[in-house]
A and B are shown apart, each in its own frame.
Chain A
Amino acid sequence: MEAQLTRRTAASCCQHLILSSASSRSSRVLLRPVRIPTTAAGARKQSTRSRTKRALNIPPHPSFLEPQQKPGGNHIVFNPPASAPSVFHTPFKFLPKSDPRRRANLPASLFASSTTIQYNHTTPSSTSQLDDPDFIANAPLIGSDCSTPKPHHLTPTDVEEIRRLRTEDPVKNSVAVLSERYKCSKLFIMMCVSSPREHRDKIKSALEMVRQRWGPRRAAAREDRRRRWEMLFNSEL
């Protein structure tokens, strides 16, 4: 994120230069190939000051440079600022078969990896990391991995057993214990059986006791957290 911000700043400075004076010297300086710091810590610091300056001197967005085919002519600069993607831009995958946009984009996406057929002759409009398949494949996964198939190993007799155990002794056979024993999720245990009402009431009153011990700060913080979750699901955040 830091690196991106720096690059934007550099690009906007560069835009100013090209559009106002088009000084060749400064653009040559900016065009000099430098290594962009890509270490995990997002290193903004090299061992010397001049190296730091050089490292942070990032080449401009290709759209700002003069096209090599028509030097000296006018060209359109397209480099919109970073912003959250709009939900009104339907991803290619979500377009129905009959949509004309699908047909229009199909060749480009089909032969994107081709080295002989080039559909985009002009300069690439964006040099996003997302165009790089390696970047996507290496990006860390978050949450549960849906790509691994679920085992579905429990049989109806297991479910009966779970029900019996949980009803007999809900304290000893808690949801966590059962899910650990049967190698399934806690949600599945809760789907199979709900604990007896007395047990639930006991848990609820114990929670209520804990809640009553909260001071005003903690209570307010909990309430804020609850409201933040609510706002998140109502798309207010």
Chain B
Amino acid sequence: MKRLRADRWTGQLLVARSSQRGCCPAAAGALRSARSDQHYLPVRSQWTAVSSPFSEATETTFATTLQAPRDPSELPSPIPERALHSAKLASLHARLSLPKKLPIQTLARTLVDASADENPLFNNVNLAFVGQTVINYHVSEYLMARYPRLPMEIVWASMRGFAGVAPLFQIARSWGVESAAVPGGEVDPGLLQFTTESPGVSLTKFGYRRTEAMYLEKYKWRRGISNRVVFDDDFGESVNVTPGTEQTAHEAEMQKKERENDEEEEENEYSMRRYGDDVTRSLAEKAHAHFVRAVVGAVYMHCGRDAAHNFIKAHILSRTLDFGRLFSFKKPTMELALLCDREDFDPPVARLLSETGRQSRTPVYVVGIFSGKDKLGEAAGPNLDHARLKAAMNALKAWYLYSPGEHVRVPSDMLADSAKKWEPAYIDIGEIISR
């Protein structure tokens, strides 16, 4: 008897082709249920050694389940075949103008969060990882080319502003994606499926876990910028995932506290937990963000580099981020003086340009910062000190927010065929003060 290659079957379901090849939903259902019963052993792929092949017993169980598929409501997430009959999925596909190459089954898979379905063959973790990498690459490249003088902290803040969890959550909401109340095999595959009961898995990040990671949050140890550049992830946040739990220590602590509260409030019929709190909200936002990343990953895998770049430009980089509001200064006048010293400009002086109502309750002073004859910044304020500091901050922002132009070329533009010759982008010599 020829042996059943179950992993190949799932592979077929997983890699949904554009020519929708028939695959048996019953088989898929059977597989899923078998896995949930712990008969099916770790995920095998072509290059892993077969540590524990199917035993005869497993095969027989498998055969019986094949003949009698279980109730879909026992599955953790809908089977891929049902994606073809979901109106929500079809409309989402059309609304996002996704290319035809991206099959609807893959789109369905992007909607299954790891907290709903732990099986990496059916949830969106792999696609989200690819998507996260592609998004972060394009956003950071854009920031570097568009605003070459941004300090590293502002770069991280703007990375969070473009590609962090909060903006991606907003994007998912703006796409009109709704979430299922409770995930399961019977729900519409066009709904985002996640649960706030279990945290799911966190995506692998590029960064190192420090040996002293446990104490960083506890004692609020300072992390210098150069230290963070080396160790931290793309958003400047410390990688603090404890290997066993796949969850940051902070989150684990929060959850533990929540659970304790829950146990206390168990008698209370109307506990806060039922209506959501900070933890559930953050989990929901994370699930939405993973969905957006997974869609980008799916576009990248099915339609290629250019389509993914265009998709990111259309949905992520097109969003408005007020860079002027990201800055927070401590000693702006000193920083400006250091800048002028470094660049061999005349030392900056503040001059009063105009004023009104000095004797009144609401005076306004307009102060300009000059270096030699050139005005570097100007601001109005209710007293001379405010106006002067604000003018200095405006001058510093004008320095930091220098941009070579609105439509700068980024290195990934060179990957296109018939790209023009690359002109070196402007790179600044570095930050004014080290933090």
Contact B356 A1, beta carbon cutoff 8 Å: yes
Return A7 CB to nearest CB of chain B, in Å.
Answer: 12
**Residues from chain A with Cβ under 8 Å of B368 in the complex:** 130, 136, 139
* Chain A interface bracket (under 10, 10 to 19, 20 to 34, 35 or more): 35 or more
Does any Cβ of A come within 8 Å of B347's Cβ?
yes
Contact B364 A1, beta carbon cutoff 8 Å: yes
Question: Which of A47-55, A58-66, A82-90, A165-173 lies at the binding interface?
Answer: A82-90
Return A227 CB to nearest CB of chain B, in Å.
Answer: 13
Contact B374 A143, beta carbon cutoff 8 Å: no
Q: B interface, by DSSP: helix, strand, loop or mixed?
A: mixed
Contact A235 B373, beta carbon cutoff 8 Å: no
Contact A142 B367, beta carbon cutoff 8 Å: yes
Question: Which of A19-27, A73-81, A94-102 lies at the binding interface?
Answer: A94-102
| CB-CB nearest in chain A for B148 | A96
Q: What 1/0 mask marks residues of chain B from 43 to 57 whose CB sits below 8 Å from any chain A CB?
A: 000000000000000
> How far is it, in angstroms, between the C-alpha of A235 and the C-alpha of B364 when the chains are bound?
17
> How far is it, in angstroms, between the C-alpha of A237 and the C-alpha of B329 when the chains are bound?
13
> How far is it, in angstroms, between the C-alpha of A87 and the C-alpha of B403 when the chains are bound?
11
| Cβ 8 A contact of A130, one of B325, B375, B403 | B375
Contact B398 A136, beta carbon cutoff 8 Å: no
| CB-CB nearest in chain B for A144 | B333
* Chain B interface bracket (under 10, 10 to 19, 20 to 34, 35 or more): 35 or more
**Residues from chain B with Cβ under 8 Å of A235 in the complex:** 324-325, 327-328, 393, 397
Contact A91 B355, beta carbon cutoff 8 Å: no
Return B405 CB to nearest CB of chain A, in Å.
Answer: 9
**Residues from chain B with Cβ under 8 Å of A212 in the complex:** none
- Are A147 and B347 also in contact (CB < 8 A) when A91-B374, A93-B374, A96-B402 are? yes
Contact A143 B333, beta carbon cutoff 8 Å: yes
| Cβ 8 A contact of A146, one of B330, B349, B393, B398 | B349
Return B340 CB to nearest CB of chain A, in Å.
Answer: 8
> How far is it, in angstroms, between the C-alpha of A15 and the C-alpha of B355 when the chains are bound?
27
Does any Cβ of B come within 8 Å of A141's Cβ?
yes
Does any Cβ of A come within 8 Å of B394's Cβ?
yes
Does any Cβ of B come within 8 Å of A215's Cβ?
no
Contact B353 A139, beta carbon cutoff 8 Å: yes
Does any Cβ of A come within 8 Å of B337's Cβ?
yes
**Residues from chain B with Cβ under 8 Å of A133 in the complex:** 373
Return B210 CB to nearest CB of chain A, in Å.
Answer: 29
**Residues from chain B with Cβ under 8 Å of A87 in the complex:** 324, 377, 394, 397-398, 401
Residues of B within 8 A of A (CB): 324-325, 327-330, 332-333, 337, 345-356, 364, 366-368, 370-371, 373-381, 384-390, 393-395, 397-399, 401-404, 426, 428
Residues of A within 8 A of B (CB): 1-2, 4, 84-85, 87-96, 98-99, 129-130, 133, 136, 139-143, 145-147, 232-237
What are 16 contact pairs spanning A and B, CB under 8 A? A1-B356, A4-B354, A84-B379, A87-B394, A87-B398, A88-B324, A91-B375, A91-B376, A93-B345, A93-B371, A133-B373, A136-B370, A139-B351, A142-B350, A235-B324, A237-B381
